[in-house]
Amino acid sequence: MRKNLMEILCCPVCKGELELTVTEESGEEVLEGTLRCAACSVDYPISEGIPNLLPQTACED
């Protein structure tokens, strides 16, 4: 994920601002890390450069 995408990304649940935590990067590319919503405290992982912004379901079987 390119760092400049932070300007346009928002939380898919509440539309709040996302905070980036980088654990591995290569230049301007974030390879591993987390996007955290400041408003609703939901974490979205970044794995192999791909952010997973799918809302988590509360379904437990």
Give the domain ranges of the chain.
3-51
pTM for this model (two decimals): 0.85
Beta bridge partners of 34: 21, 45
**Tens-digit pLDDT profile for residues 13-55:** 999 999 999 999 999 899 999 999 999 999 999 999 999 999 7
pLDDT score of 55: 78
Indicate whether 59 pLDDT > 60.
no
Topology of domain 3-51 in CATH is: N-terminal domain of TfIIb (2.20.25)
